[in-house]
Chains A and B, each alone.
Chain A
Amino acid sequence: MTSLTRSISRRSALKAGSAALLTLAAPTLVRAQSASLKLGVLTPLTGAGGFDGPRMLKAMQAVAEEINGAGGLLGKKIDLVVEDDQTNPEAAVRAARKLIDVDRVPVIMGTWASAVTTAVAPVCWESKTFLTTVSGADSITLLPHQGYLIRTQPNNALQAAKHGEFLLGLGSKRVFIMSIQSPFAAPTQAKLKETVEKAGAAMAGALIYEKDKTTYRSEVDQVLRAKPDVVYVNGYAPDVSVILRDLYRAGFNGPRFAQSYSVTSKVLEALPPEVTEGVYTVAPSADIQSPAFALAAKRLKLEAPDSYETQATDWISLVSLAIAKAGQAEGTAIKDAVRKISQGSGEKVYTAVDGLKAIAAGKEINYEGASGPCDFNEIGDIIDCKFRFQIVEKGQFKFLKVA
């Protein structure tokens, strides 16, 4: 019995071993034969980002296929080398090292969580590899990345500026902001103040509250003493729902404004409709009126690709165009060329393939993306982006505008 088990296990071990050897050898053989251009993809396929990562990957694969169908990039087929960052900084750094050291990719596209991007970014800039990300934390573009990083997600300051403009558009003269204690509280409050005061309106006040309190009556009292005409509640769902109740009880009838991740459809179900009546919500949005958005939707066979799918579409398009513009697939070349094809007075293009044709014809181009105009400042943040505004009526969201 024992010897039988052993002989089977030895045989299977042999089989497994040779299979593994073959698998290891196979890509090398393929790689040696085809002259492909390798681009790195590092999205979360598992973990907290496991919902968005695979969809971002699909969006990039669709663009790569389209480019390959139209003749490829620098005369080569694009080959996406995909690794899973597991929404985990430690796993992500290992995967990034593999992409850089083994696959020698000039670019890594796709980190999602801010903690992951913060860990992967130094690996990238140290080895002169370009990185594109959706992570939102303000600190990321402040890293000493020397230009090897761009992000297509609006940072807190850009969001706060847009929120301020919307509140001013409602005719607000005295704005109060109450923020949950968090890394985004102070930057949001500062930028909102700047935006509101530049337009001649005033901040009625600002406060930072603690999370996990069972009541915010005293905070609401403090807000009402300042006599604001609009209250921006900048927190998460559990606390925002308590504050909305307390504002209602205190008799505040003016507009209330919140991020749509804090006033979700579940929050509307949990609260009486009179409490949420007239609450405005905002979220970053893809540029749904842009031709690039319509083309991305068609390419992905989706009615409305979301913010992450459109951002992924834009990364691979920007990277391909920068490589074509520079004439070489190197991280430093991408870094130096990306702003030459993303902004400026060149001909507007809405897909990578159109852009590649224009570059081949010797034209200057300005890629306008599905997620937004894709114009970057010197630290790699987008300069402009669209936002989706909604209002709650009778316990239901009503679409207002994308602006």
Chain B
Amino acid sequence: MSPFLAEFVQLLLNGVMAGAILAVPALGLTAMFAVLRFPNFALASHATAGAFAGYVANVSFGLPLIPSLVFAFFFAGLLGLVSDEVVLKPFRAMGAITTAIGSIALTIAIENLIRFVFANELRGYDLPIARDMIVGGVRIGPQQMQNLAISVVIMGLVFAFLTFTRMGKAMRAVADNPMLADIKGINADTVARIVSFGGMGLAGLGGMLIGLDTSIDPLTGFRAMLSVFAAAVVGGLGSLPGAIVGALVVGIGEELCLLVLSPSYRSAVGFLAILLVLVLRPRGILGQRAY
């Protein structure tokens, strides 16, 4: 492979891996938006909470990777369920903007609660680190491939849930037309609880997936939040396949821009993508239909 082609393939691969991990919390965000109709900024602290729950499972209880991820999902999901029920639900009657601002307050509160318990220092998961393999001039990390596979499986499970289960279909119905769903006897409260649990669970999973590759601290989720939002908006806020497409666009875009730009402009590309999409297709690449 020529050096330029190798670099291109390498950046593409890095972008796919970064995008796949970004897609998990972006799915959670967009699912919650589809049903509850407000951007839930508390996603950031739930991602952090999931990362720390996974840390406790992995380091304190000595569980292997997959059970730790499951624990992260359930912990962040339950936290999301409780925080939505106690804090955000009363806000919803006041409109989407009020609820969104309430979710910012909530995320700051949870983030500081985590800081209170775990302090500010960096922590790492107790997992062995492996050197990358080089295939045809392209560097492939076994752990990144594993994380990619985990993300793909999670996405598959989410779509299976929406397609084949009663509750999944109910969620899509509420997202599509809440009034019609109500007439058909679908309990909107139950659907809201399920989506809060699932959405924040995905955020927690995403937080831990990000932490696997880096280290975690109370700001882990907050740091990833902008990219997650960019992904969801680019794909079309409220569209689940859109979240995945958006995450891949942002992930690959940020990497490929390195061919021509200095790394210090990487985030600018993410926002340029949002700007372009919103100008050309205000509803996002795949529009706003949930599924």
Contact = CB atoms under 8 A, between A and B. Distances in A.
A267 B214 CA distance: 11
14 contacts: A207-B262, A208-B263, A209-B264, A210-B263, A213-B266, A215-B17, A218-B11, A218-B258, A222-B258, A237-B122, A249-B129, A266-B122, A270-B121, A275-B129
Nearest to B120: A266
B124 A214 contact: no
Nearest to B226: A212
B130 A249 contact: yes
A249 B131 contact: yes
A221 B262 contact: no
Interface size class for chain A? 20 to 34
Contacts of B122: 237-238, 241, 266-267, 270
B213 interface: yes
Given A221-B10, A249-B131, A266-B122, A271 B223 contact: no
B21 interface: yes
B139 interface: yes
Contacts of A275: 129
Closest 10 CB pairs of A and B: A270-B124, A212-B223, A266-B121, A270-B122, A208-B264, A209-B263, A242-B214, A270-B215, A214-B210, A241-B215
A242 B288 CA distance: 35
A214 B213 contact: yes
A18 interface: no
B217 interface: yes
B52 to A, nearest CB: 13
A173 interface: no
Nearest to A220: B139
Contacts of A269: 123-124
Contacts of A266: 121-122
A281 B187 CA distance: 60
Contact of A214 (B7, B214, B258, B263): B214
Interface string B53-81: 00000000000000000000000000000
B224 interface: yes
Nearest to B258: A218
Interface in A241-293: 241-242, 245, 248-251, 266-267, 269-272, 274-275
A12 interface: no
Interface in B251-275: 255, 258, 262-267
B132 interface: yes
A181 interface: yes
B282 to A, nearest CB: 28
A222 B258 CA distance: 9
Contacts of B262: 207-208
Nearest to A207: B263
A104 interface: no
A242 B215 contact: yes
A221 B7 contact: yes
Interface string B3-38: 000010011001001100100000000000000000
A218 B213 contact: no
A217 interface: yes
Interface string B106-118: 0000000000000
Contacts of B130: 249
A194 interface: no
Contacts of B263: 207-210, 218-219, 222
Contacts of A181: 264
B141 interface: yes
Given A208-B263, A241-B122, A215 B213 contact: yes
B185 interface: no
B156 interface: no
A213 B128 CA distance: 22
Contacts of A219: 258, 263
Interface in B122-152: 122-124, 128-132, 139, 141, 143-144
A272 B129 contact: yes
B21 A214 contact: yes
A215 B14 contact: yes
A205 to B, nearest CB: 12
Max chain A Cβ within 10 angstroms of own Cβ: one of B123, B131, B213 = B213
A76 to B, nearest CB: 47
Nearest to A273: B129
Given A212-B223, A218-B11, A219-B263, A272 B124 contact: yes
Contacts of A251: 131-132
Nearest to B141: A249
Contacts of A242: 213-215
A271 B215 contact: yes
A238 B217 contact: yes
Contacts of A238: 122, 214-215, 217, 219, 223
B266 A210 contact: yes
A218 B14 contact: yes
Nearest to A249: B132
B131 A214 contact: no
Nearest to A274: B129
Interface in A194-241: 207-210, 212-215, 217-219, 221-222, 225, 237-238, 241
Contacts of A272: 124, 128-129
Contacts of A218: 10-11, 14, 255, 258, 263
